């Protein structure tokens, strides 16, 4: 991916690029929230709503919170740099939580923070994320259906 080219795009163009493919990844750093950037993996959309999952670094805490073990993962997905090369630390996706944001929020963070589009999520990782979302009893059937449509259409 040509990051130099992407960095020269307007925020509107960056959001259009981000939303053009399921599995696109972006991160932004908002120093008012944290010193660490937040990674967003794009898994679906409907009209003005964009749906994301976020990896978290504290794997043990997530395992305890969801009462899962490394040997029996139902809705958690543990990943590292072999799954997604830009993740430098072992991380966990809690697929019981989908972040929904609108286009205006995306443009706002692009304009007001260190916003970068990153390497697209590999198909294998995206498929594993979607499977874990389907396993969750906490994600509404409506959101699951949106994600299913987006991921089956190859968008």
Strand runs (DSSP E) across the chain, as ranges?
25-29, 38-46, 49-53, 55-56, 76-79, 91-94, 99-102, 114-118
For residue 123, pLDDT over 90 is answered with yes
Phi, psi of 63 (to 5 degrees): -60, -45
In contact, 54 and 101? CB cutoff 8 Å: no
Distance, in Å, from the CA atom of 154 to the CA atom of 21, rounded to the nearest integer, reads 8
For residue 79, pLDDT over 90 is answered with yes
pLDDT attached to residue 154: 52
Distance, in Å, from the CA atom of 147 to the CA atom of 59, rounded to the nearest integer, reads 25
Q: Which CATH class is domain 3-152?
A: mainly beta
Distance, in Å, from the CA atom of 30 to the CA atom of 36, rounded to the nearest integer, reads 8
Query: Domain residue spans in the chain?
Result: 3-152
SS3 call for 124: helix
For residue 65, pLDDT over 90 is answered with no
Percent of the chain past pLDDT 70, that is, above it, reads: 92
């Amino acid at each position: 991916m040509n990051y130099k080219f992407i960095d020269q795009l307007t925020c509107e163009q960056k959001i259009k690029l981000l939303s053009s493919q399921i599995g696109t990844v972006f991160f932004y750093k908002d120093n008012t929230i944290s010193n660490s950037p937040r990674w967003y993996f794009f898994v679906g959309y409907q009209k003005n709503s964009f749906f994301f999952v976020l990896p978290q670094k504290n794997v043990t805490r997530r395992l305890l919170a969801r009462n899962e073990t490394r040997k029996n993962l139902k809705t958690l997905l543990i990943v590292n740099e072999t799954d997604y090369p830009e993740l430098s630390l072992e991380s966990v996706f809690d697929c019981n939580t989908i972040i929904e944001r609108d286009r205006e929020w995306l443009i706002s963070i692009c304009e007001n923070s260190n916003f970068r589009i990153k390497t697209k999520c590999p198909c294998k990782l995206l498929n594993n994320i979607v499977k874990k979302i389907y396993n969750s009893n906490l994600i509404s059937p409506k959101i699951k259906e949106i994600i299913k449509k987006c991921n089956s259409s190859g968008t």
